[in-house]
Structure 1
């Protein structure tokens, strides 16, 4: 029984892990390209040299910078949501989340060699990688089922099955409507 109650939480956790990983994998290169385009070559080199000079534990503190900068935006988004501006608040929160993960991905790539010198970080990094593998193992079968349903809905090779399903649904609705009309005339 407990397993069935925890299953939705496990699915949500797996989805969150996969979304974070997807954003990380897809936004990191974009942020890297954006930084390469910026004309402030001396500033970029100074930041890179500054990170290179930092000891491993101080390098870990570099990740507090995007968190500190984006935290007010997330609070403002939550305040907007609480005041009834759901869409605007959600958009601001998602934008802050995406920018934060993208910047963190960029910083992680710059700081990774130093961070891997910290034993606790190595254990946490390995644990995260195991969670990602677990999440894929847990969610991939669901994705395959959803892909099968979408193929069914689109038509594809299974178009006949979809048409039969829609016909069954239409007939079922017609019967239900006829029963409702019969019941309404019988009560009158």
Structure 2
């Protein structure tokens, strides 16, 4: 039976939503995995005197300037992503993928740190605060569904087992001097 608005069968539409949610959930998990550690790493680098002064100036930006600065890394990474596509088109798929991965890591780190520094100013923009609240609620609900899944729970059990094995191996072999 097709839905009245789209003509797409309801079961197909539900399946597409499920696949889309799963892919988006994995992307969000990747972002979450990298967001905090990368932001902290840049915070550690930000202790350098010149960067500390720059970060202090960023925290004093008015909301609109903070928003422009928050969007800037995405715009600056566009040429890098185009370079990656060009490399792939030239038959250098590995180099192109490496550029994409490095750009993703550096971009995530920059956006995370800039968001950390500009968040108070950004939250003074009513529309931004509302969208951020909606995004956060939606993201948490999606992550809760993912974390409740069998695959997630099995992965956590596997991870804990590997951590225990590594700890035992390190205790047995890591302390020996050659």
Separation of aligned partners in 1, 2:79 and 2:108:
16
State the Cα RMSD in Å: 2.5
Q: Which residue of 2 aligns with 1:112?
A: 119
- Which one of the candidate residues 24, 35, 41 is aligned to 1:13? 24
Instruction: Please give the TM-score of this superposition, normalised by the length of structure 2.
Output: 0.72
Q: SS state of the match for residue 124, structure 2?
A: coil
Name which of 64, 86, 93 aligns with 1:86.
Answer: 93
Shift of 1:98: 0.9
Number of residue pairs the alignment of both structures matches: 149
Q: Which residue of 2 aligns with 1:164?
A: none
TM-score (normalizing by structure 1): 0.69
Please state which structure has a larger fraction of its residues in helix: 1
Deviations 1:78-113 (A, max 9, x none): 211222222211111111111111011111111111
Determine the C-alpha separation between the residues in 1 that align with 2:42 and 2:51.
16
Higher gyration radius (CA):
1
Q: Distance in 1 between matches of 2:45 and 2:61?
A: 24
Structure 1, unpaired ranges of 5+: 155-188
